[in-house]
């Protein structure tokens, strides 16, 4: 198939940036979206032009680095997948595709399609962990956790920190990401001793980074590649209220 690509090109965070049009020819439907980008870059390099900068690592839907806005949707037209899991059979011959980076003040563009998502790292450092003595692990059945709690905690732990929730939100809110981290740890015995400090610290850092407020439109849940539910945001609010009162 032959495609018309409008790709955002931006030299650095100070550059204004613009869309540049490219023609992708003889694209195979079994290619992944990032493989199609690889082929385009090889052609640009062969012509002596600068390739398009985009982020990627595992290409298995795990690392969360393939943060692309494709035709107005985070990670593209399919639900529950990352951009690296999107295949070109999702498009038709002759289609026009717009490819952009995340648009959020807290995610400044580094170059082209790459944004700086280290704000998430700083939020995690503010409390998204547990303090535990090192040494040999306890027996698996030493601390019993009921099935429903374990399932809920693991659903939250599935967050890969890609930032699609921020990109999809009209306020660029990071509430789904933060709630996933807090919800995961607050439900497990290992995370309970630091639950108040975690809630206060992570939310304070989220606000400091410049993310917007949640308005419960549900766009974050709809675009999350791991389909994390906004019910975790409700738990985050309860954890924050509990910590504030206590």
Q: Are residues 104 and 132 in the same domain?
A: no
Query: What domain count does the chain have?
Result: 2
pLDDT of residue 140: 66
CATH of the domain at 212: 1.10.1060.10
Q: Are residues 137 and 103 in the same domain?
A: no
Instruction: Give the residue from 110, 137, 154 where a domain finishes.
Output: 110
Q: What value does the mean pLDDT take over residues 214-243?
A: 95
CA 76/CA 15 separation, integer angstroms: 25
- Report in angstroms the alpha-carbon separations of 28 from 18, 58, 213: 27, 21, 41
What are the tens digits of pLDDT across the range 83-125?
999 999 999 999 999 999 999 999 999 999 999 999 999 999 9
**81 lies in which domain range?**
3-110
Instruction: Give the residue from 110, 130, 162 where a domain finishes.
Output: 110
Q: What value does the mean pLDDT take over residues 164-189?
A: 96
Which range, of 63-72, 127-136, 234-243, averages the lowest pLDDT? 127-136
Q: Are residues 128 and 71 in the same domain?
A: no
Instruction: Give the residue from 68, 86, 110 where a domain finishes.
Output: 110
Kindly state the tokens that stand for 90: 């999702």
Q: Are residues 164 and 190 in the same domain?
A: yes
- Report in angstroms the alpha-carbon separations of 158 from 61, 62, 124: 11, 9, 15
- Residues 6 or more apart whose Cβ sits within 8 Å of residue 174: 106, 119, 120, 123, 165, 166, 206, 209, 211
Q: How confident is the model at residue 134 (pLDDT cuts 50, 70, 90)?
A: low
Kindly state the tokens that stand for 130: 């547990």
Q: Are residues 23 and 57 in the same domain?
A: yes
Q: Are residues 106 and 128 in the same domain?
A: no
- Asked whether the beta carbons of 163 and 64 are under 8 A apart, the reply is yes
Q: Are residues 144 and 83 in the same domain?
A: no
Q: Are residues 223 and 147 in the same domain?
A: yes
pTM for this entry: 0.93
């Amino acid at each position: 198939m032959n495609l018309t690509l409008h790709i955002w090109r931006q030299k650095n965070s100070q550059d204004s940036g613009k869309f540049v049009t490219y023609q992708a020819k003889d694209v195979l439907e079994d290619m992944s979206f990032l493989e199609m980008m690889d082929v385009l870059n090889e052609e640009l390099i062969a012509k002596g032009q600068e390739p398009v900068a985009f982020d990627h690592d595992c290409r298995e839907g795990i690392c969360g680095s393939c943060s692309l806005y494709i035709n107005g949707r985070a990670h593209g037209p399919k639900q529950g997948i990352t951009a690296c899991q999107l295949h070109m059979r999702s498009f038709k011959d002759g289609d026009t595709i717009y490819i952009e980076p995340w648009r959020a003040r807290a995610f400044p563009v580094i170059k082209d399609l790459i944004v700086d998502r280290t704000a998430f790292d700083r939020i995690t450092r503010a409390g998204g962990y547990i303090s535990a003595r090192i040494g040999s692990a306890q027996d698996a059945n030493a601390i019993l956790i009921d099935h429903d709690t374990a399932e809920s905690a693991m659903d939250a732990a599935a967050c890969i920190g890609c930032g699609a929730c921020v990109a999809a939100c009209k306020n660029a809110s990071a509430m789904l990401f933060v709630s996933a981290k807090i919800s995961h740890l607050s439900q497990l015995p290992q995370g309970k001793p630091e639950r108040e400090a975690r809630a206060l610290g992570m939310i304070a850092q989220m606000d400091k980074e410049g993310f917007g407020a949640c308005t419960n439109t549900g766009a974050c849940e709809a675009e999350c590649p791991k389909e994390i539910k906004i019910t975790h945001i409700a738990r985050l609010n309860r954890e924050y209220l509990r910590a504030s009162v206590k």
